[in-house]
Amino acid sequence: MKNKIIAIAKKTIDLEARSISELGELLDDNFEKAITAINNCEGRLVVSGIGKSAIIAQKIVATLNSTGTPSIFLHAADAIHGDIGMVQQHDVVMILSKSGESPEIKILVPLIKNFKNILIALCGNMQSYLSRQADIVLNTTVTEEACPNNLAPTSSTTAQLVMGDALAICLMEIKGFSTEDFAKFHPGGTLGKKLYLRVAELIINNEKPVVKRDSPLKDVIIEITKMRLGATVIVDDEQKILGIITDGDLRRMLEKNISLQNLKADDIMTLHPKTIESSELAVDALDLMRKKNITQLIVVKNGKYAGIVHLHDLVREGII
C-alpha cells in the first residue's frame, strides 16, 4: 500500500510539472499585450473567476498587490449579483476559467465589454466563449489533469497559478520594484524584519563593553562578565577601535599557562576585528557572522564604536 501511495503522489507531481513545462510553449504576443495593458492601467487589475479558478484568482491578486501592482478580487457569481460595481472606468479585468463556458462567466463577460474595460482571459479552452470575447487571451491549456478521472482541476489550476506568477514577476521587473519597495508592503513577521530591521535597532538596549589598551586583565574579565555580550572592545581616547577580546580569547590565554599578573588588554586583544555599520540590515550582520564563524560583531557609526551586536539579538528578533 505504501508503494502505491508514493507512486500516485509521484505521478501527480509529474503530471503537474509537465503542465507547467508546456506552459512556456503557449506564450505568444498576447502575454506582452497583457503586461502592457496592466502596466499602463490607470486603475486596478480586477481578477475574477468561479470555483477553483476563483481561489487561484485570489492568490494572484495577493501576489500582485505585494509586488506593486494594485489588484482586487471579484468573484464571478457575486459580480452578477451586484458586485460588478467594483469595476471602475480605468480598470483592466482578467477572468480565469478552464472551460471558459461557465454560466456566470457568460453573464459577466458582456457586462465587462459593455463597460469598455480591457478584458484579459486566462483560459484553458481557446475556442470557448470567454476566449472569443476577450481582448487578450493567455493560453493555460493542459494536456491532462492529475485527477485519475481527468476531471478535478489540478494541473489546470497549477497552470493558472504559474501564469499569474509570470505576470507578477514581469510587472515587478518593468516597474523596477526593489527590495526596499517589497519591505514597505511586508512590514510584519520574520520576512519583514529581514527586509527592514537595521543593526542600529538591535543594539539600542545592549550594553556597550569597553576597556583601554592598558587595562589590566582583571578589568577586562569584569567588563566582559558585567556586560554579558561575551566580549569587550578596546578603544583609544578618541573612541577609535583598536581591537576586541572575547571570552574565547580568555580561555585560549588561560590554556597557555602563562603568568597573568601583569597582563593587559593590549597583550591579548585581537587586532582588526570584524565590524559592521549601524545602518546595515540585521540579516547582513547574520550573513557576516556565518561567513566568519563568529557570534558577535562590533557596530560602528561614523567611524566610531557604537556597540556590539550578538547572535542572540538576531535569535530574539526571529531573524534566525
Cell reading at 5: 501511495
Number of domains into which the chain is organized: 2
* Same structural domain, 164 and 215: no
Domain-ending residue, one of 145, 177, 209: 177
Domain-ending residue, one of 142, 177, 212: 177
Q: What is the CATH number of the domain that holds 79?
A: 3.40.50.10490
* Same structural domain, 204 and 172: no
Cα(294)–Cα(25) distance, rounded to whole angstroms?
49
User: Is 299 within the bounds of a domain?
Assistant: yes
Asked if the model's pLDDT at residue 187 lies above 70, the reply is no
User: Is 190 within the bounds of a domain?
Assistant: no
User: Is 184 within the bounds of a domain?
Assistant: no
* Same structural domain, 52 and 86: yes
Q: What is the pTM of this model?
A: 0.69
Cα(106)–Cα(101) distance, rounded to whole angstroms?
7
* Same structural domain, 206 and 168: no
Cell reading at 63: 501576489
16-61 pLDDT tens trace: 999 899 999 999 999 999 999 999 999 999 999 999 999 999 999 9
Domain-ending residue, one of 144, 177, 210: 177
* pLDDT for the residue 89: 93
* Same structural domain, 62 and 171: yes
Q: What is the CATH number of the domain that holds 254?
A: 3.10.580.10
Q: What is the mean pLDDT of the chain?
A: 91
Say if residue 180 is exposed, middle or buried (CB neighbours under 10 Å; 0-12, 13-18, 19+): exposed
Question: What is the residue-wise DSSP string for 164-210?
Answer: HHHHHHHHHHHHT--HHHHHHH--SHHHHHHHH-BHHHHSTTS---E
177-186 pLDDT tens trace: 776 676 666 6
Give the domain extent around 36.
2-177
Considering just the CA atoms, what is the radius of gyration of the chain in Å? 30
- Other Cβ atoms closer than 10 A to 232: 30
User: Is 193 within the bounds of a domain?
Assistant: no
User: Is 276 within the bounds of a domain?
Assistant: yes
Do 91 and 48 meet the contact criterion of CB atoms below 8 Å apart?
no
* CA nearest to 309, candidates 191, 195, 200: 200
141-151 pLDDT tens trace: 999 998 888 88
* Same structural domain, 14 and 138: yes
User: Is 42 within the bounds of a domain?
Assistant: yes
* Same structural domain, 167 and 231: no
Instruction: Pick out the residues of the known binding site for Zn(2+).
Output: 75
Instruction: Pick out the residues of the known binding site.
Output: 75
User: Is 186 within the bounds of a domain?
Assistant: no
* Same structural domain, 161 and 212: no
User: Is 188 within the bounds of a domain?
Assistant: no
* Same structural domain, 141 and 240: no
User: By percentage, how much of the chain surpasses pLDDT 70?
Assistant: 96
* Same structural domain, 278 and 141: no
* Same structural domain, 130 and 263: no
